[in-house]
Amino acid sequence: MRIKKIYIAGKVTGLPEKEVKEKFATAQKAIEAQGFEVINPIEVVNNPNEDWHIAMEKCLVALAQCDAIYMLPCYKDSPGADIEHKKAHALGLDVYYSFQAIE
């Protein structure tokens, strides 16, 4: 059986770069510690100055290759994470809102 691949979604735009990297890296480590493969959108885009629309396009392509999405608590304040959330539902992915729920 292959390892479930989980995408992380949360607020990026308008926040300090260091804070964003740390927040996503912390989530990535926690999910990987549970034995899952993680797709971190910060690594997918890999350019804090990327045009928002191009960044979203890259992220949505990466999301489509996943089995699930983990929504950081800050996703509610993010138009991009909201798009990813809706896309995950449209793709029929598992959607998680807490580390404890990931299976």
10-43 pLDDT, tens digit per residue, is: 999 889 999 999 999 999 999 999 999 999 999 9
pLDDT confidence bin for 2, thresholds 50/70/90: low
pLDDT of residue 1: 55
Instruction: Give the pLDDT confidence score for residue 81 in this predicted structure.
Output: 96
19 half-sphere exposure, CB direction, 13 A CA radius: 8
Domains of the chain: which residue ranges? 5-101
CA of residue 22 relative to chain centroid, distance: 13
Give the pLDDT mean for 66-87: 95
**What is the mean pLDDT of the segment spanning 84-101?**
93
| CATH number at 5-101 | 3.40.50.10400
